[in-house]
Amino acid sequence: MDFASRREKLRKLVRKASASSMLVTCPTNVSYLTGFTGDSSYLWISQDRYLLVSDGRFSQQLAEECPDMEVVIRKPNVSILKATVKVLRAEKPTSVLIEGDRVSKNDFDKLSSELKGMAFTTSSGVVESLREIKDRDELGLIRRAIEIAESGFLGLRKRLTEDSGASGTRNWSEKQVADALEGEMRSRGAISSSFRTIVGVGPRAALPHGTPSERRLCESPFVLIDWGAREGQYVSDLTRVLVTGALPPKIDRIYHTVLAAQEAGIRAIQPGALLSEIDNAARSVIARAGFGKFFTHSLGHGFGLQVHESIRMAKGQDRPLKVGMVVTVEPGIYLPGQGGVRIEDDVLVTRDGCRLLSSLPRDLESNRLNLT
Amino acid sequence: MDFASRREKLRKLVRKASASSMLVTCPTNVSYLTGFTGDSSYLWISQDRYLLVSDGRFSQQLAEECPDMEVVIRKPNVSILKATVKVLRAEKPTSVLIEGDRVSKNDFDKLSSELKGMAFTTSSGVVESLREIKDRDELGLIRRAIEIAESGFLGLRKRLTEDSGASGTRNWSEKQVADALEGEMRSRGAISSSFRTIVGVGPRAALPHGTPSERRLCESPFVLIDWGAREGQYVSDLTRVLVTGALPPKIDRIYHTVLAAQEAGIRAIQPGALLSEIDNAARSVIARAGFGKFFTHSLGHGFGLQVHESIRMAKGQDRPLKVGMVVTVEPGIYLPGQGGVRIEDDVLVTRDGCRLLSSLPRDLESNRLNLT
């Protein structure tokens, strides 16, 4: 990873904001700029230096992960804020840009009252704007996180089919499915799942963010699974609906509507297209089919170091897509009490349009599973 | 869970802070006060009402988890901040207390500039202070989270012993150990581990927060494991060192020092004792043995809904322990390049002193494992 060039890009943005230095408090942003994978540490960066305020738990890890970085290790009885005040008092920058969406109101007030005469200004989304465009190394890790998630899912499918029968996987609960998928992804190299896996059988598939319950696969003819893998620092995010029995006509219909909406969304992705336009391309397919009010969330989001990054494809988001952005495309229709369908893939914006990074089949037939 | 009485206690604190209402933005605090287990939602509470600003992904989940709560569902293109402004504009409270350690500087500024004439004041640790004292229901869930973590650990030990040998668990990597423990805890009912399990073989045990690597068990005669289970919304947090070969005399010595320090810490725990006194009781044992500068973190922390809650047993923390608090007691000695020992248990402050909630044996002999 070329952390140095990321810091150079940040310095340019700091100059543009007329500040002489910046304090980065968001742990993910600190990782992005330094390669340090721990947390509880603040990065201060000026035009010619950078240093990390951390604590003793991370001393050795810092020496391994960031051997060239200047590090200030605070004692257990000194808060990170106090240690930061001490650093700034010694470094005397004329001005400090602070992540206004990340720093708490109380911490901001303490910093500015402790350091009178130093100009503190807040920014919004500065490091996040750099993180929107993925470099080659990041894309490699994201591809790997997708590969592990997909291969783990195929492993899960295999187990579901092989061990089925009266006392077998037909009787698995949503939680057992989530646990098995976790094991499949970890055994393929994932650190863990990238978020708490969503498994929704039948009517529970209508909960876009439902957590795995004791409901059993055999209780309904379909199950929605939304999962991802974390590999290194990067993540993936996918959703499929598996059909395990005779699908009710209504669910069959929304499946095809969601699939058509997703395809329309993906087709619309290209550099320069507005985020809201992509959302609309997919949403209008669902609206035309009469299910508009059952698509209750935005079409997709950026991801990378985090599952939800700053880009959001939604109404009112009038910024353009750029080459190197990666987004999920995940339309859904949720019918309370009956069930829901969401299909989610990961897409890279390229010079000539976009490339699907995920590759699991999306058509209904390929997602049929014989559990009897 | 008696969420209503928690809200009543909070209302008393809001009155004490001379505010007519409070906006709770921290997701864990929202869960604590309402029972809603999702995130991305703000709770507004006045002396006679409370309502949650949430979004469509959670509509059905909210109806299931909090059927009596007033809920405002924002549309995908309306930010949570805008939706909150709209609610406050309609409700017209004279003043709003805000969690100053949780709300971002930018969000605070936006709220107060959008709602001129409404008095916004920041608080620090208000809901967190309620969360420090665990009620009966919470203690039940914490005990269960500890039980699962301990039983999962015993399951891991069994697997390590049974499958050992040339091609067996002797060759397991730190990551494989972490993955196996995850499976053992989940199969016993855990939602997941409560944090990324730390597994450190030999010299890597000197990294208090090291992440599992490819280093193999057979490469050193000891391994440190720091793990916990999440069950329902509550967590546990434990550490043991397993001895898998002939222990170097120095590691043997620090093991016994850490154990003696932990026992001294636990003995000191009683209502009224200061947090710093408990830390000192354990720390002075380590200092007297000549390892003071290798105990680089505080003695322990509160836990419950989160792994690290507001109580911290450290120098300078001059608040008293109270009945119903639960804390970890986890002294450690870390010798860079050689290894480290940490022993961590979970303790409840009781009327007559304290009760150990965890029960895995701590002596060195009981933690020997025969892998050959």
* Residue in chain B lying closest to A212 (CA): B191
Backbone angles phi, psi at B350, to 5 degrees: -120, 175
Do residues A51 and A87 lie in contact, with contact meaning Cβ atoms separated by under 8 Å? Answer: yes
Asked if residue B143 and residue B96 are part of one domain, the reply reads: no
- A106 Cβ under 8 Å from any chain B Cβ: yes
Whether B372 is in a domain gets the answer no
- The whole-angstrom distance between residue B307's C-alpha and the CA centroid of its chain comes to 1
Of B101, B182, B209, the CB nearest to A57: B209
Quick check: A209 pLDDT over 90? no
Amino acid identity for residue B285 in this structure: V
pLDDT tens-digit readout, B278-333: 999 999 999 999 999 999 999 999 999 999 999 999 999 999 999 999 999 999 99
Question: What residues in A contact B196, CB-CB < 8 Å?
Answer: 191-192
Backbone angles phi, psi at A295, to 5 degrees: -105, 90
Residue window 175-234, chain B: list those with CB within 8 Å of chain A: 175, 179, 182-183, 186-187, 191-192, 196, 206-211
Question: What residues in A contact B56, CB-CB < 8 Å?
Answer: 208, 296-297
Asked if residue B73 and residue B42 are part of one domain, the reply reads: yes
Do residues A313 and A279 lie in contact, with contact meaning Cβ atoms separated by under 8 Å? Answer: yes
Q: How many C-beta atoms lie closer than 10 Å to residue B194's C-beta?
A: 23
Alpha-carbon distance B161 to B279, whole Å? 36
pLDDT at position A164 is 57
Backbone angles phi, psi at B353, to 5 degrees: 140, -105
CA angle B239, B307, B149 (to 5 degrees): 45
Asked if residue B340 and residue B238 are part of one domain, the reply reads: yes
Asked if residue B57 and residue B156 are part of one domain, the reply reads: no
Do residues A35 and A1 lie in contact, with contact meaning Cβ atoms separated by under 8 Å? Answer: yes
Asked if residue A107 and residue A249 are part of one domain, the reply reads: no
* Shortest alpha-carbon distance between residue A34 and chain B (Å): 17
Whether B109 is in a domain gets the answer yes
Among residues A91, A113, A131, the one where a domain terminates is A131
Q: What is the rounded average pLDDT for all residues in chain A? A: 95
In sequence order, the 6+-apart residues with CB closer than 8 A to the CB of B320 are B271, B272, B273, B274, B275
Q: Which domain holds residue A118?
A: 3-131
CA angle A46, A48, A49 (to 5 degrees): 65
More confident residue, B84 or A60: B84
Residue A61 and residue B192: Cβ atoms within 8 Å?
Answer: no
Of B299, B203, B58, B246, which Cα lies nearest the Cα of A61?
B203
Residue A193 — very low, low, confident or very high, per pLDDT cuts 50/70/90? Answer: very high
Residue A179 and residue B179: Cβ atoms within 8 Å?
Answer: no
Whether A299 is in a domain gets the answer yes
C-alpha R_g of chain A:
23
pLDDT tens-digit readout, B108-146: 999 999 999 899 999 999 999 999 999 999 999 999 999
Asked if residue B168 and residue B76 are part of one domain, the reply reads: no
Of B57, B182, B211, the CB nearest to A296: B57
Q: What is the mean pLDDT of residues A178-195?
A: 97
pLDDT at position B76 is 78
Residue B58 and residue A209: Cβ atoms within 8 Å?
Answer: yes
* Shortest alpha-carbon distance between residue A267 and chain B (Å): 22
Amino acid identity for residue A58 in this structure: F
pLDDT tens-digit readout, A141-185: 999 999 999 999 999 999 999 875 555 888 999 999 999 999 999
Asked if residue B120 and residue B141 are part of one domain, the reply reads: no
* Residue in chain B lying closest to A106 (CA): B100
Asked if residue B121 and residue B34 are part of one domain, the reply reads: yes
pLDDT at position B177 is 97
Question: Which ipTM value was assigned to this complex?
Answer: 0.92
Pairing of strands A192-193, A229-231: antiparallel
Q: What is the mean pLDDT of residues B6-34?
A: 97
CB environment A141-159: b (16+ within 10 A), e (fewer): bbbbbbbbbbbbbebbbeb
Domain count of the fold of chain B? 2
pLDDT at position B372 is 60
In sequence order, the 6+-apart residues with CB closer than 8 A to the CB of B217 are B160, B169, B170, B171, B172, B173, B177, B201, B223, B244, B371
**CATH at residue A352:** 3.90.230.10
Quick check: A252 pLDDT over 90? yes
Alpha-carbon distance A139 to A151, whole Å? 18
Quick check: B67 pLDDT over 70? yes
Residue B104 and residue A107: Cβ atoms within 8 Å?
Answer: no
Whether A172 is in a domain gets the answer yes
Q: What is the mean pLDDT of residues B195-208?
A: 94
Among residues B131, B166, B194, the one where a domain terminates is B131
**CATH at residue B54:** 3.40.350.10
Quick check: B103 pLDDT over 60? yes
User: Under DSSP, is residue A196 helix (H, G, I), strand (E, B) or coil?
Assistant: coil
Q: What is the rounded average pLDDT for all residues in chain B? A: 95
Alpha-carbon distance B62 to A69, whole Å? 46
Pairing of strands B222-227, B21-24: unpaired
Asked if residue B180 and residue B32 are part of one domain, the reply reads: no
Whether B275 is in a domain gets the answer yes
Specify which residues B21 forms β-bridges with: B46, B96
Quick check: A353 pLDDT over 70? yes
Asked if residue A278 and residue A208 are part of one domain, the reply reads: yes
Whether A372 is in a domain gets the answer no
Q: What is the DSSP letter of B334?
A: E
* Shortest alpha-carbon distance between residue B106 and chain A (Å): 5
Whether B181 is in a domain gets the answer yes
pLDDT at position B61 is 87
Asked if residue A199 and residue A120 are part of one domain, the reply reads: no
Asked if residue B276 and residue B213 are part of one domain, the reply reads: yes
Among residues B70, B99, B131, the one where a domain terminates is B131
